[in-house]
Amino acid sequence: MPSELGPADIAERAWLGAAALRPAAIIAVSSADGGVGRSTLVAALGDLLALAVPGPVVAVDMHPVPWGGLGERIGRSNAGTMWDAVRDLHTLTSRHEVERWTQRSPSGLLALVGETEGQGRRPPRHDEAAAVVEAVRRLYPLTICDVMPALIAGVWRTLAAAFAPVLVARATADSLHHTMRLLTHLRAAGNSAVVDRTVLAVVAASPATGRTVRAVLQQAATVVPDVVSIPYDPQLARPEPVDARRLKKQTRTALVRLADAVIGRCADPRVALPVAARKERA
pLDDT of res. 21: 95
Distance between CA atoms of residues 115 and 64, nearest Å: 9
Percent helix / strand / coil, the chain, rounded to 5: 45, 15, 40
Q: Report the C-alpha dihedral over residues 53, 58, 64, 68, rounded to 10 degrees.
A: 90
Ordered per-residue pLDDT tens for the chain, 282 residues: 555 566 778 888 888 899 999 999 999 999 999 999 999 999 999 999 999 999 999 999 999 888 778 999 999 999 999 999 999 999 999 999 999 999 999 889 999 999 876 667 888 999 999 999 999 999 999 999 999 999 999 999 999 999 999 999 999 999 999 999 999 999 999 999 999 999 999 999 888 878 889 899 999 999 999 999 999 999 898 888 999 888 999 999 999 999 999 999 999 987 755 544 444 444
Antiparallel, parallel or unpaired: β 199-203 and 164-170: parallel
pLDDT of res. 278: 43
pLDDT of res. 263: 96
pLDDT of res. 65: 85
pLDDT of res. 6: 63
Distances from the Cα of 86 to the Cα of 39, 89, 121, 134, angstroms = 20, 5, 11, 12
pLDDT of res. 136: 98
Model-level pTM?
Answer: 0.92
Distance between CA atoms of residues 240 and 18, nearest Å: 27
